[in-house]
Chains A and B, each alone.
Chain A
């Protein structure tokens, strides 16, 4: 294969210079308008780390308070804000974003790609995350931080007097970040499925990519239930709709279900990417391919699925039927199997190779040693009878910190030591690394091991103080000492990262002699890979001779620039056959503006400034439309591009061949999960009440069914418009498109008419409230559908959408499939269910 590569003409310096110029990161203040994955990845990681240190400081304050019994170092209220923020920040602002950061930074070079498919979306996600994070963290300096726990259980968190504005800050600030996470998930899934280097079939994909694919898929199904819960929660807080108020038919437990349907997969969303780093580090330092590649795939996919059957194990003490608890105990036990497989894969790989005990490997070994303890205590708390004792005690605090520090933080630190040469061509200090490791390892064990005993001796979680002489005093003192030891270790790592390293010797290009593609990329260059290689092995740098030289000499695909554009390759899902040359947007500030506008929406909502919120909403919509109009579905000047090595590829595709179609499909899958969560809520209320309508009138049968019929018609005409366009009947297509919009608006009006004409009062009882929510969901989505139709119309008129270049129209059709399905389901449920099934 390589002979083909080498036979091409030797590329010149001018070519290299052109490529460098196209991928150059702007300087000065424009630096921040960069959307390149390397820049965004580093900002993302830096911000996430800063948030981690902030949450760590909160933890140290808490440990100081708990060092001795009856301590009054901080007030009860401050302590409660501190533990709420500690959990929230570590989960939402560190653990999840750091993996998004690593993925954005590492995936393109690892897959042999130049960029992820949607660089602006990645940048938008980062800015959203940063703004939301600063907003949530900053609240503690105004004594306005959320103080109801990171799980925000109602009624404590829905009561305005008991929770203050903190709960709004939590809900709105984090909803914002959840949106960013879903954006990252879309980017990662499409990136892994469609942007791998030619030849990288799924059996050759780096394990990191397998894990990230699973994790991003999990985000799609895990985050939307929380967003659905957030919607219900904010509707209760802002408008007094009684979703969690038992006096009016609501139930606090619905929130717990929705929160933990998110919350447990979340643990694995955090854990799997960290293990993915281990799966890259272990083979490098065992100097051999991983043993049981397929087993890792089994473990990743299996964990991904099983993790959705565990959520009730956070609710073992809520008084659900024991038989239900038992199912979740069983699933919680089952998830230990794939986890055990992963650990054994690492150990087997080490046994089958010769281990180099470098700093990354030291942290890796420490990770296994401690994570296994967390895993074993995890199996313990998975059993309902034991959990009745351990739940909400320091036993669980001990367990979860072993899991998260052993299973997540240690691998991430290992990853930092491992990948640091990729960031700025320098190594971190080995001597200080060892000291940091032993401080952190000792600190972890001294701080958290005693907590298991403290918990079983009856110390509950989330207490700002405790009485002496219950057998907890010396255990707590130990934990505090351990926490500070741990912090000293973290401090050393941070100091080593930020210290200037100009004097240090430059590291080699592939200093650890790793086998995977990311080690080709040179830290100074922003192009990811000099030319896009053909991959023939799981460890191309070990197995493909001269690969590095050939890639860096530009002897593979796309070594040169055309029309001054940033370009990458799209390949097929299973076998990575080249399909398209994709042009990705370069530097631009629009994503930052969009994020600021969206932040303004959430900020103004927090303070209930309705007018400002609607203005900000319009600004966001306008910005996003501008962004789409200028940066997507661009019709290329010429249809095809010579990618080099005799390969000519199209520049424009639409439908399932295009990355945009996949992004829409994935986004709408997540969106449907949110909808399904609301439907779950509807039936949840049905199960807990003898008569869930509480005698209130429903929306009737007529209007919901009329609405469904109109939605189906609108969908049908939309499909018609697409085929008309494909057949060249552009004028007729435009007419039909408008007809479809009119039908959609009528359908939305009919959906509203049901509850409106029956005078359903959402404040009075939960039944009308949940009906209004389903109607609202449908109407908002119909509104978006109509906006998309008009967008297509405008594109068609502007000549940016033609019979051959119909990406926008096809994506809108895809949206409409989902919309029609959701509208039909919600109409049928509202119209038929309480009458027929009630």
Chain B
């Protein structure tokens, strides 16, 4: 536990200069909060944080801080602890865990006391009948009773954890497809509106959303520990998951089923926003980024990036690789593995395989460095 407080201590030290360097106000506080929560582990921070006001600007502010801190602190992109729940299911399950942990500790300590007594022979040899009674009560009756109770608890929890809306009810449906090694995301909003993004998910707080989970290559598993348990993405099957985020926050969701060489380098960044801000966010996502008209788009098209990627508002429309329409506004690059800067974008274009072994994107190290730089800057501008 000492280590935890220590790491928060360092964190506070790092954050202090930030506070003085920038115009500290609500957004900045939010940004700092993200850092603290994401990196430290104390649940009281979460509780405090949930009361804090926030808006979409905060996210951008936070991102600036990440940029400022660079690689070292990119963990700011989200936290992923199942023990610090920000969703209904995660909270119920965390409660179940603490209950089981308590019970388990009592059982273990009791058994160890018994074992120690037996080894030290303090009781003296007990008679055969008493020993058999111990086996009967301790080995059979007690566990049976405890298990009936525990199973009842879990079964009682199960139906309520992932209810699915009745057909016809308006609901946000997010279709996520696992790919080696990134996430293809399609939002289907009530009223038939839909748009596409990749490696990021934004959710409304307090509203139940439904995920439709698929895969087109190998098995992946979709998991946002702070919100809910995982569900596999299996080729040929469509799995469903429904969840409610109860708090605003930023979370990280790793791929939880081994999916090949870079399985470790596949995560999705998740943000939960108040309903109005979520609506604003979807509004912006439905349209092309204002940045598409900036210089760089012609290079993007000329070098054939459009044969794999799609950017709304340009002729690039392939769905083979991640959708880059609003790449600039994402916090991370390469499915949650790098901070999102023109530099990292450039290095990814040059040698994707060096950053993410086994990726299906070819290297573009034969392109002129200036062109790559321009494309990277342009992509970063797609906010």
Given the complex, which residues of B lie within 8 Å of A329, measured CB to CB?
151, 154-155
Given the complex, which residues of B lie within 8 Å of A621, measured CB to CB?
none
Is B90 a contact of A389 with CB atoms below 8 Å? Answer: yes
B305 interfacial by beta-carbon distance below 8 Å: no
B139 interfacial by beta-carbon distance below 8 Å: yes
Closest to B219 in A: A153
B92 interfacial by beta-carbon distance below 8 Å: yes
Stretch at the interface among B22-30, B140-148, B200-208, B322-330: B140-148
A721 to B114, CA, bound (A): 65
Stretch at the interface among A207-215, A333-341, A432-440: A333-341
A80 interfacial by beta-carbon distance below 8 Å: yes
B169 interfacial by beta-carbon distance below 8 Å: no
Give per-residue flags for B222-247: 1 if the beta carbon is below 8 A from chain A beta carbons, else 0. Answer: 01011011111011110110000000
Closest to B357 in A: A76
Within 8 A of A (CB), among B60-99: 72-76, 79-83, 89-90, 92-93, 96-97
Is B263 a contact of A462 with CB atoms below 8 Å? Answer: yes
A337 to B138, CA, bound (A): 10
A30 interfacial by beta-carbon distance below 8 Å: no
B313 interfacial by beta-carbon distance below 8 Å: no
Within 8 A of B (CB), among A187-220: none
Closest to B35 in A: A469
Is A389 a contact of B82 with CB atoms below 8 Å? Answer: yes
Given the complex, which residues of B lie within 8 Å of A369, measured CB to CB?
112, 115
CB distance from B36 to the nearest CB of A (A): 11
- Asked, given contacts A155-B219, A329-B151, A385-B93, whether A469 binds B38 with beta carbons under 8 Å apart, the answer is yes
Is A319 a contact of B131 with CB atoms below 8 Å? Answer: no
A291 to B262, CA, bound (A): 53
- Asked, given contacts A344-B138, A392-B221, whether A317 binds B230 with beta carbons under 8 Å apart, the answer is yes
Is B81 a contact of A383 with CB atoms below 8 Å? Answer: no
Is A251 a contact of B229 with CB atoms below 8 Å? Answer: no
Is B108 a contact of A372 with CB atoms below 8 Å? Answer: yes
Is B134 a contact of A344 with CB atoms below 8 Å? Answer: yes
Give which listed residue, B92, B121, B159, B264, contacts A355 with CB less than 8 A: B121
Closest to B90 in A: A389
A317 to B228, CA, bound (A): 12
Given the complex, which residues of A lie within 8 Å of B287, measured CB to CB?
none
Say what secondary structure dominates the interface of chain A: helix
Give which listed residue, B73, B134, B155, contacts A326 with CB less than 8 A: B155
Within 8 A of A (CB), among B222-280: 223, 225-226, 228-232, 234-237, 239-240, 252, 254-265
Is A462 a contact of B128 with CB atoms below 8 Å? Answer: no
Closest to A77 in B: B261
B132 interfacial by beta-carbon distance below 8 Å: yes
B217 interfacial by beta-carbon distance below 8 Å: yes
Given the complex, which residues of A lie within 8 Å of B38, measured CB to CB?
469-470
CB distance from A82 to the nearest CB of B (A): 13
B135 interfacial by beta-carbon distance below 8 Å: yes
CB distance from B226 to the nearest CB of A (A): 8
Closest to B229 in A: A388
CB distance from B143 to the nearest CB of A (A): 4
A318 interfacial by beta-carbon distance below 8 Å: yes
Give which listed residue, A80, A372, A379, A387, contacts B150 with CB less than 8 A: A379
Closest to A320 in B: B239
A322 interfacial by beta-carbon distance below 8 Å: yes
B107 interfacial by beta-carbon distance below 8 Å: yes
Given the complex, which residues of A lie within 8 Å of B162, measured CB to CB?
322
A138 interfacial by beta-carbon distance below 8 Å: no
Given the complex, which residues of B lie within 8 Å of A392, measured CB to CB?
221, 230, 256-258
B41 interfacial by beta-carbon distance below 8 Å: yes
CB pairs A–B below 8 angstroms (17 shown):
A147-B261, A291-B131, A317-B221, A329-B154, A337-B143, A340-B138, A343-B111, A343-B139, A347-B115, A351-B125, A377-B104, A385-B229, A386-B93, A389-B82, A392-B258, A470-B80, A471-B81
Residues of B within 8 A of A (CB): 3-4, 38-41, 72-76, 79-83, 89-90, 92-93, 96-97, 100, 104, 107-108, 111-112, 114-115, 117-121, 123, 125-128, 130-132, 134-135, 138-140, 142-144, 147, 150-151, 154-155, 157-159, 161-162, 213, 217-219, 221, 223, 225-226, 228-232, 234-237, 239-240, 252, 254-265, 337, 357-358
CB-based closest 5 A-B pairs: A246-B236, A388-B229, A469-B75, A344-B139, A458-B80
